A and B are shown apart, each in its own frame.
Chain A
Amino acid sequence: MNGIELREVWFKYPGSKEWALRGVSLEIRRGEVLVLVGPNGSGKTTILKLAGGLYRPSRGEVTFWGSNIWEVNGSKRLELRRAVVYVHEKPILLRGTALDNVTFAPLLRGVPREEAIKIAEELLSDTSSAYLSRKDRREMSAGEAQVVSILRAVAAGPKILLLDEPTAHLDREKRVILTNLIGKLRSEGMGIAIATHDHLLALRTADRVVIVENGVVGSVGRPSEILDCC
């Protein structure tokens, strides 16, 4: 399996009585864009965080390239986790500028500073965001912060990218930029899973769409089949 697989995953938040997910199975493959749609509270964020290895399933398995990430040990787990990056819906930036933030991800993986800065500057300018480079996180709008947090994830160079409501704060111009970026990353072989209410984004980027409802995954299909029904 070239990517992430959730197998019969059940999940309950600590302290909660209700199951947030009830037997979810799905695959996120490289070179493919998978879009999750569904009402608020249906479990999209929870699925993405489980797929990102941030939550441990209560039951079932989450595998990265066939290995159960919760059963492999330290260094192997780190290596697997580094192949996948999850981006929060509400952007969380670290102290400093946009450039600091985007540089941060490659630095974390031991890329030398000079090279990390080069990667970051290239990404920022490719997405018409170079004007943000020197902006401090306190001076950014929500949309700008969202773009930066997505670019930071891309700069990490993951094989699979998990985007949670990536257009939530974006204006039309930035949505177009993001759509193009997603297309480019996909063509380079990255796998991308997106949780979104933005049907236009889904139509423009998705290879497959799944409907999530009440903690279970419903129908899976091509965007045109799935989306006109909702």
Chain B
Amino acid sequence: MEIVVRSLVVSGTATLLASTWSIVLAYLLVRSPRTSRPLIPLLEGMVGVPTVLIGLLLYLLLSRQGPLGVLRLLYSPQAIVIGQAILITPLITSVAYRVLTHSWDMYGELALSLGAAEGQAAKIVISESLSGVAAAVVMGFSRALGELGVALMVGGNIRGYTRVMTTAIALEVSKGEFELAVSLGIILLLILAMISLTLRFLGRLRE
């Protein structure tokens, strides 16, 4: 149970962090087509980046001899948070970009025509597409919760400290303890399904 909670807290924090900058970034990209034209395909290409690649990169950065070694973050929950946040940034940004582009075409122009300042227009555009933006966030959360590479490589799967659902499943399987692995797997699936259902419900409520 403790593992489940840790998973949710770690991935939740990562999602919160990544969402904050990703949504801002997505909005800025919508507002400056000249930058987004080359950048969006790049971001979209990075959506499926292997988690072990991010894990490796972060490992090199955070390891004792690495440039950020002094922070002593390797094998800590914070390291997983950072890694997962980086991992899901392209996903959230590119999905939010699509949603916000669509919303801008309608509501951004409306806001400007009614005399909105730039900040007021942003507020309108984002609030009118809240369910879509929320979907982007949830997709990010799902990916963070379900990834293994980062958690394993920079978290270290330390019991009671950095062990999360996916690393626990991997470990149990490698030990041949399929029962715990399967029940953790089911919990993981249930959580993801619940999130997606909640989202649909919220979306319908707001529409």
Contacts and interface: CB of A to CB of B under 8 A. Distances in A.
A146 B14 CA distance: 44
Interface residues of B, number: 18
A158 B113 CA distance: 11
A54 B106 CA distance: 12
Name the interface size band of chain A: 20 to 34
Contact of B116 (A14, A108, A158): A108
B110 interface: yes
Main secondary structure of the interface of B (DSSP, over half): helix
A221 to B, nearest CB: 29
Interface string A138-172: 10000000000000110010100000000000000
Interface of B: 33, 106-107, 109-117, 120, 124, 127-128, 206-207
Nearest to B124: A94
Interface in A91-144: 92, 94-95, 104-105, 108-109, 138
Interface stretch (A17-25, A77-85, A175-183): A77-85
A10 interface: no
B115 A52 contact: no
A87 B115 CA distance: 12
Given A94-B124, A94-B128, A95-B128, A86 B113 contact: yes
Interface string A67-89: 00000000000100110011110
B118 to A, nearest CB: 8
Given A153-B114, A158-B115, 15 more contacts: A52-B113, A54-B113, A81-B115, A86-B113, A88-B113, A92-B107, A94-B107, A94-B110, A94-B128, A95-B128, A105-B114, A108-B115, A108-B120, A153-B113, A156-B114
